[in-house]
Copies of this chain bind each other. A is one copy, B any other.
Amino acid sequence: MKKIVAFDIGGTAIKSAIFDDKGTLQEKWSFETPRQNGDLAVFEGLKAAIEEKGLKKDDILGIGIGVPGPVKDGVVEGAVNLGWEKVDVKKQLIEALGYDVPVFVGNDANIAAVGEYSRRSEPIRSMLFVTLGTGVGGGIVLEGTMHEGATGSGAEIGHMRMTDEGIQCNCGLYGCLETLTSATAVSRLMVEAIEKGAKSSIADIEYVNAKTVFDHAKNGDETALSVVDYVCDTLGDALAKINAVIDVPLILIGGGLSNAGEFLIHKVQASYEKNAFHATRGAEIKLAQLGNDAGIYGGAYLVMNHG
């Protein structure tokens, strides 16, 4: 039986997995992202990983790869975290391996989206996946297909501008969703509130991070709660705007902030319902299920569905 190989390439580690030809996970592991020799070091690392598992050309049904940058037709347009300019991932990997196998490549947020999509127990045609971490990312699956987008960025929902009065985002714009609803934003908003004199049971600004803010909000800290409410209201408003355009029945929330669980989901859903166009009300907002494994499952999905 042939195997599917999946790699989710990050700036520090490469999450790796082997699936059987039905998409059942057989083994997963992780190794440090090789950086020493530029672009090619990564591909030598992927080759070594495949060989260590004893896989040869005829054993491999296909390889699915996630990369932290815009991907269009198998080519990465640049990946800051890897120090990459434009890289033809498919071509480079086949050259490193020394043989031709089917290779499918996707933006990391997009393959995480199809990964989550592929493992839903209930059948669904379309969905939006949102990650709330250091930044805010997104991926869209429409009728079972990963939405790659014209520039390969897919759904860069973190850079939807929400206000004219916000701070400047890393992207250069002001008031991006990412500056208002990321884990980074939760910390910043809490620190700003405390510095302005708001009272909180978090005694020292040193202890402020997204987790402590959510924990204290759950325990009734009013300042933490007002930050959390603002973040959830803003996210629900953004999701309502997005779903006025794409009209999907399911929105999954992942990333570090999603560890806040149903406490977060209930608040976001309430704001969504208040702000959504009537036809799109009732779309379900749920927690993503796969955590850091979403990308490798997405890699397997790309192979099984031929990209």
Contact = CB atoms under 8 A, between A and B. Distances in A.
A116 interface: no
Interface residues of A, number: 40
A244 B150 contact: no
Contacts of A5: none
A69 B86 CA distance: 44
Interface stretch (A57-65, A89-97, A157-165, A207-215): A157-165
A283 B242 CA distance: 19
Interface stretch (A12-20, A219-227, A271-279): A271-279
B151 A280 contact: yes
Contacts of A283: 150
Given A155-B246, A156-B279, A245-B157, A150 B171 contact: no
Contact of A150 (B154, B160, B240, B249): B249
A241 B155 CA distance: 11
A149 B278 contact: no
Contact of A245 (B150, B171, B172, B245): B245
Contacts of A242: 245
A279 to B, nearest CB: 4
A147 B156 contact: no
Q: Which 7 A-B pairs have the closest CB atoms?
A: A149-B247, A159-B277, A150-B249, A153-B279, A160-B244, A151-B279, A160-B241
A153 B245 contact: no
Interface string A175-188: 01000000000000
